[in-house]
Amino acid sequence: MARIRLLTSVSGPGFVWVPGEVVDLPGAEAAAWADGVRAVMVRDEQPETPEAAAARPERTRKRAPRRETRTT
């Protein structure tokens, strides 16, 4: 299954899709609909923006103490 976001309204027997609605369709069918006129593909992950990165507090990872192995 793939997700598309509609750019135009679509209706048929028993359904109505409005612009902005996200619809799950089988992969090949979603690719056919996602022509940039009727719909676009929806990515699962949001692209990183500088504003989003600046709003997040910086995290530091605590590391375990280093163990030293000596061989003689």
Q: How confident is the model at residue 7 (pLDDT cuts 50, 70, 90)?
A: very high
Which phi-psi region, left, alpha or beta, contains residue 66 (left: φ > 0; alpha: ψ -120 to 50)? beta
pLDDT at 35: 94
What average pLDDT does this structure show over 58-71? Answer: 68
Instruction: Compare 10 and 45 and report the one with higher pLDDT.
Output: 10
pLDDT digits (tens, 9 = 90+) for 21-62: 999 999 999 999 999 999 999 987 666 666 666 666 666 666
pLDDT at 6: 95
Q: b/e per residue, 34-69, with b = 16+ CB within 10 A?
A: beeeebeeeeeeeeeeeeeeeeeeeeeeeeeeeeee
